[in-house]
Amino acid sequence: TKMQGSGYTDHLNRHPAENICHGFDFAAYLGRPLNTYITINFDVESADHSGAIFRAIRHKFRDWLNRRTKKLYGAALSPMYVYTHENPDGHAHCNWVLHVPPELQAEFDTKREKWIARAHKNVRHYDVKAKPVDPTTAKSLAKYIIKGIDARFVAYLHLHAYAAPQGRVWGRRAGTSEAIGRAARKAAGFKAKRDRGKLRAANDDARAAA
């Protein structure tokens, strides 16, 4: 992303945008599709600290997921998520799309409210919206959350129906968790054009049984 000054960006660049799209595909390929979409809206008081606030929320989620999945499955699951920060017309918010194990969804819904409140500390003015991800429209959601793309890459990523300026964001504008990031995809030999829509878990089970 082109830096207009120290510490902020005015748009999303090609590589983090591609990472998010491929992250959606890879999570589904692994049998753990991104199934929960959360929007955290920040008001004027908390907007300048949105990056740090969201980082604290992610850490709470990671620790909880590690503990609960280790107990449930005997092995901890790595967090899988993507996110973008946006700030159109001074309306700072974060789009967070993640995989929550279905068995833990109800508990997650309760816990996340506490994590968000604690991360804000004394700044209580914020708003949270959450909804399940429809797998048939997941790709459209991926395109929606990267709509703040640099205009140079709108055609390349087929974002004509979505692209719109999303304001200036301080700190990291977008991210993909390590488990579905570029290095993990490369290690798994995942090729988005070839493998999207496939399910690796089924193939792995077949190999194990052979």
Task: Give the model's pLDDT for residue 197.
Answer: 82
CB 70 within 8 A of CB 88: no
- 88: alpha, beta or left, given left = phi > 0 and alpha = psi -120 to 50? beta
Residue 125 pLDDT > 80: no
Mean pLDDT of the chain: 89
Q: Output the six-digit token pair for 142.
A: 């991926």
Higher local confidence (pLDDT), 184 or 4: 184
* Tens-digit pLDDT profile for residues 64-112: 999 999 999 999 999 999 999 999 988 899 999 999 999 999 999 999 9
Answer positive or negative: Cα dihedral of 19, 20, 26, 27.
positive
Higher local confidence (pLDDT), 6 or 65: 65
Residue 204 pLDDT > 70: no
Higher local confidence (pLDDT), 18 or 210: 18
Of the candidates 76, 67, 77, the one whose C-alpha atom is nearest the C-alpha of residue 99 is: 77
Residue 207 pLDDT > 90: no
Q: Please state the rounded mean pLDDT for residues 124-131.
A: 79
Rounded CA-CA distance 14/128 in Å is 28
Q: Please state the rounded mean pLDDT for residues 170-193.
A: 94
Question: Which residue reads 């390929």 in tokens?
Answer: 29
* Tens-digit pLDDT profile for residues 30-48: 999 999 999 998 876 667 7
Answer positive or negative: Cα dihedral of 184, 148, 133, 36.
positive
